[in-house]
Amino acid sequence: MNEAKTETVREEENIKMVQKVNPFRGVRYNKNAVGNDFASVLAPPYDVISPEYQDELYKRNDKNVVRLILEKKYDTDTDDNNRYTRSANTLKEWMENGTLQQDEKPGLYLYAQDYEIDGEKRRRVGFICRRLIEPLGTSIHPHERTLSGPKVDRLNLTRACQMNFSQIFGLYSDPDLYLDSIWNEIMKTEPELSETDDDGVGHHMWRVTDADVISKVQLFLEEKPVVIADGHHRYETALNYRNERRAEDGTTGNAEYDFVMMYLSNTNGQGFTVLPTHRVIIEMADMTHDEILKRLEESFEITEHPFTATTEKDFAVTLVETGKKTTALGLYLGDDKIYLLAFKDGAKLPGSENDLEALRRLDVTILQDLIFEDYLGVKREDVASKKAVKFMIDAMEVKKMVDDKTAKAVFLMNSTDVDQIIDVATNGGVMPQKSTYFYPKLISGFVFNPLA
């Protein structure tokens, strides 16, 4: 064996030394097969696609990834012909006709997103890998509760297609920016893909096949805990699918389904944005506005502020500044005025003293377990089913719902700090549903991970 070939073998062996973070032979769109408008085959994650937007994506390009991640349902669907079997048939067709192709060499997929928020331009950087699946609470930690419905849906799709179409979003901590320094050098070169989505977010991808770089990434992240930022249902689905396949195959080794496609990003990087997710109350016990405020006075200092399109940003600043001192929420009941709720010193926290204090002090916990449960009679199960409460991002949009009498009240939230998320998750805590909204969302359609 010549010296060059010996070095290649040695590099490949180094890559295989570590099993938690792995390169993979991604399945990707063939640019020659989808035409010049590559952005037209991309889509946001399945769980933020409305029926109307689904229709738009279908019309945009007959090869749009929505036909894989979120096929349409029809009244005529059967066990043999349904949204999952149609996705599987489409995948098979696209693999056979060259619409999709698998990379010949394993790699990591460096992925940067450029976006603007509040007039500031930001870039979030991470990479897509194949991550070893482990039980939650070992080296991979959830931060939110999950629901059964989405997990059944994603499991059916995984069974039918044996492919990860969308990456799970995972967080790790790297205060010294060790990996970021590696990525910065790679990002000085031209990306393989560079597209802009409907929200004006730029998505850029570089394929990383250098064995030395991959080995450094693997070694650095081997003992690092990962917190799931987005994709809890998909991760639990991957775990369930792995266990199902292991039982069928009688194996416990490193099969394709023992890994899941994951995007990993450093929480200490420059581009992290967590948006607040406001709570819109659709159903609650009948009580006057004065009765609601009287109940809340037990735990909160309450001050009234104007709330219109021209004063919205002023109140948002007040909410953030108050939130630096104590738990703070905004309560809108109508009439262009909003109430600032500031948690009183010495007020009783929800839960018991045996519960994780970092979790008990979260805005979303105090809202869910104290305000909703104790003061307003809005039960957890009605929140989880979205029967009583909706979750929305735009403050003026939710205000309009109260003004139009389609909602009874709105609670405006501060965003949850990333450090709080890591603290709660790595100490075994689980936040209430929709505690975070990481912006921007990751795109679907850049790369897929085969499970067979």
> Which domains are assigned to the chain?
3-273+440-450 (no CATH), 277-414 (3.30.1760)
Q: Are strands 226-230 and 140-141 parallel, antiparallel or unpaired?
A: parallel
Residues forming a β-bridge with 204: 112, 194
* pLDDT score, position 10: 44
Name the phi and psi angles at 258, rounded to 5.
Answer: -80, 0
Give CA–CA dist 304/326, Å, rounded: 17
* pLDDT score, position 5: 45
Task: Name the residue type at position 359.
Answer: L
* pLDDT score, position 148: 67
pLDDT tens digits for range 249-273: 988 778 999 999 999 999 998 888 9
* pLDDT score, position 419: 86
For residue 432, give every residue at least 6 positions away whose Cβ sits within 8 Å of its Cβ, in sequence order, or none: 144, 145, 364, 365, 367, 368, 369, 383
What residues in the chain have per-residue pLDDT under 50?
1, 3-15, 17
